[in-house]
Amino acid sequence: MASSRAALLLCVLLPLFTFSSFTLATSDEKVKLGLYYETLCPGCSTFMTDDLVKIFKNGLINIIDLHFVPYGNAKLGGKDNTTIYCQHFDPECKLNTVHACAIYAWPNVNKHFKFLHCIEDLVVKNNYTMPEWKSCFGKTGFDPTPVMDCYNGPKGLELILKYANETNSLVPPHEFVPWVVVNKLPLGENFVEFMTYVCEAYKGSTRPEACKHQLNHQVVSKVKENKICHVRQAASNTLLSTKMPSSQ
C-alpha cells in the first residue's frame, strides 16, 4: 500500500520537476533579438548555421522574440523605387525573397528558422541555386505551395519593400551584415556574442540554464573581416538589378 502511494506521489510530482527545468518567458519578458541580413553574405550564412542555431538547441529561444529582416545592404532604385539592387546581385535578390516568403508563410519562428537554416546551409556549401534550394521543402517536410505562391506573386515584392523600410529606418544605421540588435541595442562587432547580451537583457524571474554559462565569460569581438559584408562594399554592386519578385 505504501509503495502504491509513493508511486502515485512520484507520478504527480515528476511532471512538475520536469517542467521547472525549462524557462518559458511571457511575451512581455522576452528579449527582442533582430537579425538584419542578406542571404548570400558569408558572414550571415555562417552566423545562422553555426551561431544562431544554438538558441534552438539550448532552449534560449524560449526567452527570445526573434525577428528576421532579409534585406541587408540592398538598395532601392528605379522610377517607382521598387527595383532592388542586391549586394550579391540577382541570386541574392531571389533568395532574400524566398526567406521573406517563408517567414510570412510560417509565422512560427521554430518552423521558418528550420527552413531558413536549410537554405543557408546550402549557401555555405555553395549549392544554393535553383532547383537546389527547393530541396529544403523535402528536407523539412514543409508544403512548398504558400512560399512559392508568395515568391512568384506580388506578395514577395511587398515583403521586401517592408524589410527595406525597416532596415533603412535603423538608428543608428547598420554598417554591415549580419547586423544584430538586442532590445534596440546594436551589437556591432560583438554580434557573435549575442547570447551573452540576451542573457544580460533578460529580466524574467527564472534565469535559463543556458544563461548561467553565458554570463561567466567576457564579451570578445570575433568579427572576421572576410566574412561580414559592409555597406560601403555594396555601393559599387549596382550594375545588375532585379525587379522583385522575378519569375522563375
| Residue-range domain boundaries for the chain | 27-243
Q: Worst-scoring range by mean pLDDT, 154-158, 187-191, 234-238?
A: 234-238
Residue, of 38 and 244, whose pLDDT is higher: 38
Residues 6+ apart with CB under 8 A from 139: 118
| C-alpha to C-alpha distance for 62 and 206, rounded to whole angstroms | 12
User: Would you say 139 and 64 are in contact if contact means Cβ atoms under 8 Å apart?
Assistant: no
H/E stretch holding 177 reads strand 176-177
At residue 224 the predicted structure's pLDDT band, cuts being 50, 70 and 90, is low
Q: In 3-state terms, what secondary structure has residue 119? A: helix
| CATH architecture label of 27-243 | 3-Layer(aba) Sandwich (3.40)
Instruction: Check residue 64 and give its pLDDT.
Output: 98
Residues 6 or more apart whose Cβ sits within 8 Å of residue 112:
68, 102, 103, 105, 106
CA distance 118 to 126: 12
Residue 69 C-alpha cell reads as 529582416
With a CB cutoff of 8 Å and minimum separation 6, the contacts of 245 are: 97, 151, 152, 153, 154, 155, 156, 157, 160
Which of the pair, 171 or 23, is modelled with greater confidence? Answer: 171
Bigger pLDDT: 221 vs 78:
78
The pTM score is 0.84
Q: Is 143 left (phi over 0), alpha (psi -120 to 50) or beta?
A: beta
SS3 content of the chain, % helix, strand, coil (to 5): 50, 15, 35
- The whole-chain average pLDDT of the chain stands at 85
Q: What pLDDT is recorded for position 15?
A: 38
- Quick one: CA dihedral 225, 231, 234, 235, positive or negative? negative
Judging by DSSP bridges, how do beta strands 83-85 and 75-77 pair with one another? antiparallel
Residue 223 has a pLDDT of 54
Q: Over pLDDT 90: what percentage of the chain?
A: 70
Contact 139, 230 (CB under 8 A): no
Q: Does the pLDDT value for residue 172 go beyond 50?
A: yes
Of all residues in the chain, the percent with pLDDT exceeding 70 is: 79
Instruction: Please give the pLDDT value at position 236.
Output: 56
Residue 238: partners with Cβ closer than 8 Å, 6 or more residues away: 75, 77, 85
Q: What is the pLDDT of residues 11-61, one digit of tens each?
A: 433 333 333 344 566 767 999 999 999 999 999 999 999 999 999 999 999
Higher model confidence: residue 79 or residue 171? 171
pLDDT at 234: 72
Higher per-residue pLDDT: 241 or 125: 125
188-207, pLDDT tens digit by residue? 999 999 999 999 999 998 88
Residue of higher predicted confidence among 222 and 154 = 154
